[in-house]
Structure 1
Amino acid sequence: MTQSASEVKGLPVFNRHITTHNAEGKAIFQTPDPANPDSLTSAPAPPISTVPTWTNYPGSAFGLGYATQTTSPDLSRNADLDTFYKYLHEHPPVVIPGGVVFRVVDMAPGGGSPMHRTISIDYGVVLEGEIELELDSGEKRRIPRGDMFVQRGTAHRWRNPSDTQPVRLLVVQADSKEVVIEGKGALPESFSL
């Protein structure tokens, strides 16, 4: 079930701005200007809100920025917008097989995730706060605001070490092939919320 806002308090509200093309091939905005909601005059596909939709869990929330069913989406005839429009009402899984998910992850003070592995390569940056990343080897590292991370199919868990400050991550998750370790085989996906 999607909701209109993150339930994690203390983080700024943000907007999403999506572009497309008009019939003459000129670039236009698919989303209205948040400062002037009536500004959208000629977008060729269904209207898309500037406000991300959210899936909230206890202590965390996923805000959907965009999603495609392939890593090479078809931008002609707005096929990718039609796909994304469906995801606005029912969020995609953490990773779309063959696709890409662009999202924001909010985490309340003291919040965390279970140890998990997705069959994906995840690119991220800490937008607000500081996050602790723990790997299944036991290694831990604090990642401060502004630092980037790349998760390459590794088993990991996230934890917000602050008792007072929320955390916001910007993450792009792209489907990948399984990680195969010589003599061990493919490492399995393990993810549950």
Structure 2
Amino acid sequence: MRTLITGTDAEGRSCVVSAEELTLDTLAPGFAMGVPYQTTTNPPPARPAGSAPLIDQGIAPGLARWMVVDLGPGSETPMHHTDTVDLETVLSGTVELILDDGAHALAAGDLVVLTGVDHAWRAGPDGCRLSAVLIGTPSPE
């Protein structure tokens, strides 16, 4: 499974800063585990300022919300940024994650860490279902 982690470049534009296959380490017979992402502070680091409109998720820094999102066939969201770190899993279908550095095609099983950067979604021809865990972040300073 592939893990994309977003961030910003030197000009503050949203981009993929890491795209790697997740390695699962065998810990015991029949049991393997991998860690695609972790934070090291509570609350998580402040999000970038963003230039697209903010969608205020209403989640205080350090608190979490888990949700499932269905995107209908060919649907698109406008470019936006959030006040959260979003841990997204594509459960079914296909979708493009649109960042300032272009479109990134995702399919079932792919993982994305959205660090509050400017982004949009464009669902594939059969739509897409995402599982998302949102963690509130502090405002940028």
Q: TM-score per shorter chain, which class?
A: 0.5 to 0.7
**How far 1:107 moved relative to its partner?**
0.7
Q: What per-residue deviation string (whole Å, max 9, x for no partner) do you get for residues 7-28 of structure 1?
A: xxxxxxxxxxxxxxxxxxxxxx
Identity of aligned residues (%): 31
Query: Which ranges of structure 2 fall in alignment gaps of 5 or more residues?
Result: 1-42, 44-55
Give the superposed CA RMSD.
1.7
Q: What per-residue deviation string (whole Å, max 9, x for no partner) do you get for residues 118-142 of structure 1?
A: 111000100010110011x242100
Other-structure match for 1:141: 104
Q: What per-residue deviation string (whole Å, max 9, x for no partner) do you get for residues 46-77 of structure 1?
A: xxxxxxxxxxxxxxxxxxxxxxxxx8xxxxxx
The structure number with the bigger radius of gyration is: 1
2:59–2:84 CA contact under 8 A, matched in 1: no
Decide which structure has greater strand share. Answer: 2
1:94 matched to 2:51? The reply is: no
Other-structure match for 1:167: 128
Write out the 4+ residue segments of structure 1 that deviate beyond 6 Å after TM superposition.
Answer: none
- TM-score, normalised to structure 2's length? 0.56
CA distance in 1, matches of 2:59, 2:139: 14
Bigger relative contact order, structure 1 or 2 (CA pairs below 8 A, ≥6 apart): 2
1:95–1:174 CA contact under 8 A, matched in 2: no
Other-structure match for 1:80: none
Q: What per-residue deviation string (whole Å, max 9, x for no partner) do you get for residues 83-117 of structure 1?
A: xxxxxxxxxx7341232110000011011111010
Decide which structure has greater helix share. Answer: 1
Query: Which ranges of structure 1 fall in alignment gaps of 5 or more residues?
Result: 1-70, 72-92, 180-185, 187-193
1:94 match: secondary structure: coil
Q: Give the length in aligned residue pairs.
A: 86
